[in-house]
Amino acid sequence: MSTHDLNLHQTVDGVRLYFNTLEYRTPHFHRDIEIMWALAGSMEVQAGSQSCVVHAGEMFLINSEQPHEIKTQGGGCTLMGIQLSPDLIAEDVPEFPHVHFDEYRIHKLPEPVYRKIEQTMPEVMVQYLTKPRFYELYCKNQMRLLLYALLKYLPYRVLTEEQSQTQKNQNDRLQRLIQFVKENYKSNIRLSDFAEREGRSLSHISHFVQEMMHQSFREYVDLVRYNAACKMMMTGRYKMLDICMECGFSDYRYFSKSFVKHTGLTPENYGRQLVERVGDETAYKHNIHSRERFYTPEESIDIAKKMVAAREAQEM
């Protein structure tokens, strides 16, 4: 089960396409393969043991069931997201659900191949959202060609049943940990309580958190509390002290320190900026797991058509 499932405006089975301006997305995983194409700004992607900064014009691949976290600086990163079910080609490539790509940087493909992908994806997005006749056939075939290119040019391995089961066990524990924090971040939460639930030593679980999340348990809880506070600030209805107490911060100094750490601003200054930035028409998703703005179908069509027009102008 995914810990971060994007339904949005899905129009083709096995394919999810979206535009997004992302600031942060918590460690999560899903069965779909995900490709993130940075269009403006940059993002730091932590996928497994790999960490990579993805700049505008570059694409990054996330494997099926691979935990990953996304961070950005400043105003975030505007990207095109492509999520593909392994079932799209499982009939032709039965081992594909167990394929693990070892090279995540899609822009490392041969240049003509990568340029073709860049040219095709905005056109696919337009078809995906406008839904002309036979659009599903077109979209699925283009996505299959994309997966074909990845298999042909990127190094990969096929996980054994044992490796797949180990990954599943780790992901299940990660999901339980995320849920544990979600249910208890408002109180004096302790990792030792989770370790006891799992029947493991504190040192074992502490190592697990560091390995899967690339941060300490305390750092993760602080981030969840910070995101929860931002969500309350966004409404403009709560006093700062009330937000501090409601989100589990032990005192106002800790609360203020967290905001300075994450934003460089005091809670008061950040709250004012946040309320000004988030309007009634904005599909801005701000919760304890993410800070991101998804674009409406109408906005997405406009962005994709402008990308197609820009490419056609370059070719003239």
For residue 12, give the DSSP letter.
Answer: B
Give the Å distances, CA to CA, from 35 to 99, 133, 157, 165: 15, 26, 18, 24
15-160+291-315 shares its CATH topology with 186-287? no
Q: How do residues 242-258 score in pLDDT, each as one tens digit?
A: 999 999 998 999 999 99
Q: Cα torsion at 182, 241, 287, 60 (round to 10°)?
A: -100
Instruction: Write phi, then psi, for 197 (nearest 5 degrees).
Output: -60, -40
Using 50, 70 and 90 to split pLDDT, how confident is the model at 4? very low
Angle (nearest 5°) at CA 6 between 4 and 11: 160
| The pLDDT value given to residue 49 | 76
Q: What is the pTM of this model?
A: 0.83
The two structure tokens encoding residue 178: 């995320």
Using 50, 70 and 90 to split pLDDT, how confident is the model at 6? very low
Mean of all residue pLDDT scores within the chain: 89
Say how far apart CA 268 and CA 231 lie, in whole Å: 14
Q: How do residues 272-284 score in pLDDT, each as one tens digit?
A: 877 665 543 344 4
| The pLDDT value given to residue 9 | 67
Say how far apart CA 45 and CA 52 lie, in whole Å: 5
Architecture of domain 15-160+291-315: Sandwich (2.60)
Say how far apart CA 105 and CA 126 lie, in whole Å: 25
- Identify which of 55, 35, 33 has the alpha carbon closest to the alpha carbon of residue 44: 55
Domain range list for the chain: 15-160+291-315, 186-287
| The pLDDT value given to residue 304 | 96
**What fold characterizes domain 186-287?**
Arc Repressor Mutant, subunit A (1.10.10)
Contact assessment for residue 216 and residue 252, using Cβ atoms and an 8 Å cutoff: no
| Res. 1: pLDDT tops 80 | no
